[in-house]
């Protein structure tokens, strides 16, 4: 993202969208655990996870949420910040799954220069695993 052009509020229209695609690796899960401190064995212990309804290790839900933030930045450039987020977790993500994270501008609130976006995350191209809405505000510049 270094050197990315800062887009203005006026340049981004309702209907603009971006899809980020990424395959989740064991390293992703380990690094997210180290950063977040979430050491639930469901995410890191094969034997523990095998005894659960999931049958194997599950990727942290907020790892997927972090990819939503990345998709936002790819769409808007670095000139916007989060002011709101709602996520619904619809299904488990496992190591090796490929996630398609799509964010779409569905509303603009001109008075406060806020973009409202819908989020959809699909696993392996077809299974919904996350949905939600977010609000991003254009940064005021000096």
**C-alpha to C-alpha distance for 57 and 40, rounded to whole angstroms:** 10
Cβ-contact 14, 108 below 8 angstroms: yes
Question: For the segment 31-65, what is each residue's pLDDT rounded down to a tens digit?
Answer: 999 999 999 999 999 999 999 999 999 999 999 99
For residue 20, give both structure tokens: 């980020």
pTM: 0.91
42: three-class secondary structure by DSSP: helix
**C-alpha to C-alpha distance for 89 and 39, rounded to whole angstroms:** 19
For residue 27, give both structure tokens: 């390293």
9: three-class secondary structure by DSSP: helix
Cβ-contact 133, 86 below 8 angstroms: yes
Question: For the segment 81-120, what is each residue's pLDDT rounded down to a tens digit?
Answer: 999 999 999 999 999 999 999 999 999 999 999 999 999 9
What pLDDT, on a 0 to 100 scale, did the predictor assign at position 73? Answer: 94
What pLDDT, on a 0 to 100 scale, did the predictor assign at position 1? Answer: 52
Q: Over 90: is that where the pLDDT of 141 sits?
A: no
- Write down all domains in the chain, each with its CATH number in brackets: 15-138 (3.10.129.10)
Q: Lay out the sheet containing 98-109: strands in order across.
A: 17-23, 98-109, 114-123, 127-138, 80-89
Question: For the segment 110-136, what is each residue's pLDDT rounded down to a tens digit?
Answer: 999 999 999 999 999 999 999 999 999
With bands split at pLDDT 50, 70 and 90, how would you rate the model's confidence at 140?
A: confident
> Longest C-alpha distance within the chain, in Å?
55
- The answer for residues whose C-beta is within 8 angstroms of residue 105's C-beta and 6 or more apart is 12, 13, 14, 15, 16, 17, 75, 115, 116, 117
């Amino acid at each position: 993202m270094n050197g990315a052009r800062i887009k203005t509020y006026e340049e981004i229209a309702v209907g603009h969208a971006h899809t980020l695609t990424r395959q989740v690796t064991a390293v992703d899960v380990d690094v997210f655990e180290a950063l977040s401190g979430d050491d639930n064995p469901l995410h890191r212990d094969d034997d523990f996870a095998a005894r659960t309804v999931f049958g194997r290790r599950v990727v942290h839900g907020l790892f997927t949420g972090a990819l939503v933030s990345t998709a936002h930045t790819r769409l808007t450039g670095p000139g916007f910040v989060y002011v709101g987020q709602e996520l619904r977790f619809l299904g488990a993500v496992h190591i090796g799954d490929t996630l398609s994270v799509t964010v779409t501008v569905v509303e603009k609130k001109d008075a406060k220069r806020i973009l409202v976006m819908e989020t959809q995350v699909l696993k392996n191209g077809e299974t919904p695993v996350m949905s939600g809405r977010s609000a991003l505000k254009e940064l005021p510049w000096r």
